[in-house]
Amino acid sequence: GNSVTQMEGPVTLSEEAFLTINCTYTATGYPSLFWYVQYPGEGLQLLLKATKADDKGSNKGFEATYRKETTSFHLEKGSVQVSDSAVYFCALRGNQGGKLIFGQGTELSVKP
């Protein structure tokens, strides 16, 4: 069945450092891929998405490229801020629609 695997956290970075959070997936067909972010005390929010191969999703300085050849959707940001401290979830939805499949989440802590 479909599944998502993301790098374990916590990830601790200094402000202005480069961020990569790895995400790989297993799915049949052509799923849509998502990154969600959960700030402390809040619900998950959609951060960005990509619906087909080679698409790049971007938002708030974050980017992720849908790589079908490596079944990956790694999240990147060139310069993180303290306010980016949160838990990040990679997810997919199959090309037939259906339920969201999540990874386990990666906690990011950015220190000033």
61: alpha, beta or left? (left if phi > 0; alpha if psi -120 to 50): left
- Polymer length in residues for the chain: 112
Stretch that binds another protein, among 58-66, 67-75, 76-84, 92-100 (CB under 8 A): 92-100
Binding residues for another protein restricted to 40-69, rule: CB under 8 A: 41-46
Binder of another protein out of 12, 20, 28, 104 (CB under 8 A): 104
Least Cβ distance, residue 103 to another protein (angstroms): 6
Tokens of 89: 């979830």
Binder of another protein out of 23, 88, 92, 103 (CB under 8 A): 103
SS3 83: helix
Give the Å distances, CA to CA, from 27 to 34, 55, 75, 100, 108: 14, 17, 19, 12, 26
Q: Footprint of another protein on this chain (CB under 8 A)?
A: 3-4, 8, 36, 38, 41-46, 89, 93, 97, 99-105
